[in-house]
Amino acid sequence: MNKNILIVFGGGFLIALLVAMIVSSSIKSEPEAVNTNKIEVLVSNKKMELGYTLKNADMVWQEWPEANLFEGLIRREDNQKPIEALEGRLRRVVYASEPMQKSMLLSSDKGNIVASSLAAGNRAVAIEVSAASMVGGFIKPGDYVDVILSHSIKVNNDERLALQDTVKKYVTETILENVRVLAIDQNATTDEKDKVKVGRTVTLEVNSKGAEKLALVGQMGDLSLSLRGVGDTETIVGGGTYQPTTDVGASGILQEIVKRSETGGGKPKKIRIYSDQGVESIEVKK
């Protein structure tokens, strides 16, 4: 191909590329329009407990970006008052400044608060308690606890020999973890002004298997509740490393007895040999 033709083609290509770059830089894309409109939605004015009956002063209308609306928000219509938009009793705890929704309410003013607050598939089970077994009365509805069973066990002679370094008679074990407290006695709500009170029964929220466990272990021994800290959801039972606490594991003197029995306690062991000529005791040397 002629050299001059190549030069012309190359120059034309560079000029076209330069023109394209100039046109591209001169074109400014228009910014996308942002919806800055605001509407008024209903929000809580304070923290309210399960079963609380809403009052007009408990809720306020608050400006809310229309672009951030989500399903369930209650929008203000004309000069509507808060209580005109939402009225009834709460089926769960509502926190200050939380957007209000109709799903927060019991289906009826006379509805069963405990039944309405249960998660799908869960059960409410009551157990008997004492001051010692419910952390001196510091457990309240809405708290989360572990259920601990303390009981005695019976073993035959063969099992006793195999378990002598593990348990003598008593065992304590965690039966259920991270269980929500629904009610103390017949009270499913809390009052911040109330002093510490000790109930006689505690109603817990568990699944169907947990309900069966509570019905059974209540006949086996003593139940205690271990109060969890806020936000503590750690579980240890069923992880493969959990071991119940036994009397041997908890008592230093029992551990010493086991140790001495295994070593003979410093005294020579004797065995008895039975024959047609009588009984003969033979000392076993170490």
pLDDT at 259: 74
Could you tell me the residue ranges of all domains in the chain?
Answer: 38-104, 118-250
* Alpha carbon distance 218, 237 (integer Å): 19
DSSP helix/strand/coil, 183: strand
- Spatial neighbors of 192 by CB under 8 A, at least 6 apart, are none
pLDDT at 11: 67
Give how far the C-alpha of residue 159 lies from the chain's centroid of Cα atoms, to the nearest Å.
Answer: 37
Q: Give the mean pLDDT of 162-190.
A: 81
pLDDT at 208: 93
pLDDT at 46: 93
Over residues 63-104, the pLDDT tens digits come to 999 888 889 999 999 899 999 999 988 878 899 999 999 988
Q: Give the mean pLDDT of 171-182.
A: 91
Residue 149 has pLDDT above 60, yes or no: yes
Over residues 223-274, the pLDDT tens digits come to 999 999 888 888 888 767 788 888 877 777 777 776 776 665 555 555 566 6
Over residues 24-48, the pLDDT tens digits come to 666 555 555 556 788 999 999 999 9
Over residues 109-147, the pLDDT tens digits come to 555 677 777 777 889 999 888 777 777 678 888 889 999
> In the chain, where does DSSP find H-type helix?
3-26, 82-85, 113-117, 157-162, 208-220, 247-250, 252-263
CATH 3.30.450 fits 38-104, yes or no: no
Range of weakest confidence among 51-60, 149-158, 250-259: 250-259
Task: Name the residue with higher pLDDT: 25 or 179.
Answer: 179
DSSP helix/strand/coil, 89: strand
Query: Where residue 280 falls among pLDDT bands split at 50, 70, 90?
Result: low
Put simply, whether the predicted model's pTM sits higher than 0.75 gets the answer no
Rg of the chain over Cα atoms, rounded to whole angstroms, equals: 36
Query: Where residue 213 falls among pLDDT bands split at 50, 70, 90?
Result: very high
* Alpha carbon distance 165, 256 (integer Å): 10
Question: Mean pLDDT in the chain?
Answer: 79
* Alpha carbon distance 207, 119 (integer Å): 9
